[in-house]
Structure 1
Amino acid sequence: MKRDKILIVFKNTSTTDKASIIYQIFGQCLQETNFKNDDSIVKNLTWSTKYYTTKFDLYIDQCDSIEEWTTDFIDPMCDLLRDALAGLIIIGEIPKDTSLISKSVVDQESFLIWCHNGNQIELNELDDLNLKMAVSQSQVEFVQLDNSTDKNDYHDKVGTERIKEIIDTYEWTHSKSLNTPRGQKKVLPPQDNLESILTQLQQAKLHYESLDTDSTDAEQFASELAKEIADKLGL
């Protein structure tokens, strides 16, 4: 099935703030539409990069409880929507109990972004949390919505710029490649795997040093990390 929908769900967000966040992420796509703040579906939007364009529909939802919303969303009645999702973006405070995220909220071929819009979280704490989720094989990535900078200490994009980067690098099933002028060498899309791996190794080094290197936890951590990096490299 063609995955051509992005679903963004807000927890307890005012109409004004909701529209502001949508424009931060999808503003370029909405320029030629009649988007209204209370719209729940915006069809036939265009996501463009220097390498491709693709058409998608934006679905917008709101809830009082992310936990209850996800419970409803993984019901078989929502199978058709989940199968059509390129990705799910959740806007709300990151829960203290991240086991909520371990549920198979979306298919493995879809991206899942949780955008924290509560009290500021230190970027290194967010990096550690993302590393923890990666080691546990969860596909979610946590992003802080409001940042004073566009990049972290590892020069990785953060905030809304990171959200756009995830959408940019998603493997759309129906994108249209842009032509390269004759005589100009074709430049391949940037692969974020290498940067991601280097960042992960830097974070892992700090985490590993905090463990007892003779412990079972350290051995398991190293084994899981090696497997994940090998998968990213296609080994």
Structure 2
Amino acid sequence: MRDKVLVVLEERGAQNTRWLTDVFGDGITGETPIYSDLTWTTKYYSETFDLYVDEYDDLDEWIEEFTSDDCAVLRDALAGVILVRTGIATGDHHSQRIANSLSTDDMFLVWLDKRESVDDRELPLPWEVVQLEETARDRELNEKSGAARLKEILDVHTWPGTDRLEQEPADMDELITLMREARLRCQDMSDDEESQRYAMSLAEQIAKRI
């Protein structure tokens, strides 16, 4: 079962791993190589997984070991890989070597770039390049970066054997009644600001019922 996430650090230390705590929760600092039975929970599902934390001094040497037969069992158990790296070399071959060693159809692969400014943030699929720190470009394009984007990736990942949380279906009769009452009430309102406030309140009520 693919229920393990591998984080590969360029270097350890509080300054370089604080994002781990932001993403995976208190106590996840990267100082321990394995964190077992963590839980990732969203509105729709709850999944138990293990977090593995490794590091490298020489990326080529690390890839050589990771792609060897000795690590085949680990590779087959991975739901995703988050590789921390400063920059992306032109024609980078590291990402392709890692991807070629994996069955990536049901995995996520993230290249977490530590540079302060990123223009060439593209890598061949299935990799996604995520900027560790928010940049002016992210703000301009309204794109998430760092821990916020990593959380999104984990949220939408299709975990094997995911335990979907049961939800009560929306009561359509109740929603229709609510809308009718709202229409009648709005007809009696002459103040635009009051109407807008009521519309926002109504939208919140409907969202809670869906």
**Do the aligned partners of residues 18 and 155 (structure 1) sit closer, same or farther apart at CA in structure 2, a change above 3 Å counting?**
closer
* CA displacement 1:3-39 (0-9 Å, x = unmatched): 100010101232x234412102212xxx4xx656521
**Do the aligned partners of residues 94 and 166 (structure 1) sit closer, same or farther apart at CA in structure 2, a change above 3 Å counting?**
same
Q: How does 1:1-235 map to 2 (within 5 A)?
A: 2-14=1-13, 16-27=14-25, 31=26, 38-97=31-90, 98-103=92-97, 104-108=100-104, 109-117=106-114, 119-122=115-118, 125-126=119-120, 129-130=121-122, 133-134=123-124, 138-148=125-135, 151=138, 153-184=140-171
Alignment match, 1:197: none
Q: Quote the Cα distance in structure 2 between the aligned partners of 1:36 and 1:90.
A: 16
Offset of 1:63 from its aligned partner?
A: 1.2
SS in 1 for 2:79: strand
CA contact (8 A) 1:150 1:158 kept: no
Q: Quote the Cα distance in structure 1 between the aligned partners of 2:65 and 2:148.
A: 30
Q: Quote the Cα distance in structure 2 between the aligned partners of 1:156 and 1:36.
A: 26
Give 1 or 2 for the bigger CA radius of gyration. Answer: 2
Report the RMSD for the aligned CA atoms in angstroms: 2.3
Q: How many residues align?
A: 168
**Do the aligned partners of residues 170 and 37 (structure 1) sit closer, same or farther apart at CA in structure 2, a change above 3 Å counting?**
closer
Runs of 4+ in 1 over 4 A off after TM superposition: 34-37, 148-154
Q: Quote the Cα distance in structure 2 between the aligned partners of 1:154 and 1:67.
A: 34
Residue identity matched to 1:157: K
CA contact (8 A) 1:53 1:178 kept: yes
Offset of 1:144 from its aligned partner?
A: 0.8
CA contact (8 A) 2:21 2:28 kept: no
Over the matched positions of the two proteins, sequence identity in percent amounts to: 29
Residue identity matched to 2:32: D
CA contact (8 A) 1:94 1:114 kept: no
**Do the aligned partners of residues 172 and 37 (structure 1) sit closer, same or farther apart at CA in structure 2, a change above 3 Å counting?**
closer
**Do the aligned partners of residues 184 and 158 (structure 1) sit closer, same or farther apart at CA in structure 2, a change above 3 Å counting?**
farther
Alignment match, 1:211: none
Residue identity matched to 1:72: E
* CA displacement 1:28-66 (0-9 Å, x = unmatched): xxx4xx656521101000001111110000001111122
* CA displacement 1:57-103 (0-9 Å, x = unmatched): 00011111222211210111111000000001011213314122111
Q: Quote the Cα distance in structure 2 between the aligned partners of 1:40 and 1:114.
A: 20
**Do the aligned partners of residues 158 and 81 (structure 1) sit closer, same or farther apart at CA in structure 2, a change above 3 Å counting?**
same
Structure 1 regions of 5+ residues with no counterpart? 186-235
CA contact (8 A) 1:53 1:177 kept: yes
Q: Quote the Cα distance in structure 1 between the aligned partners of 2:88 and 2:10.
A: 12
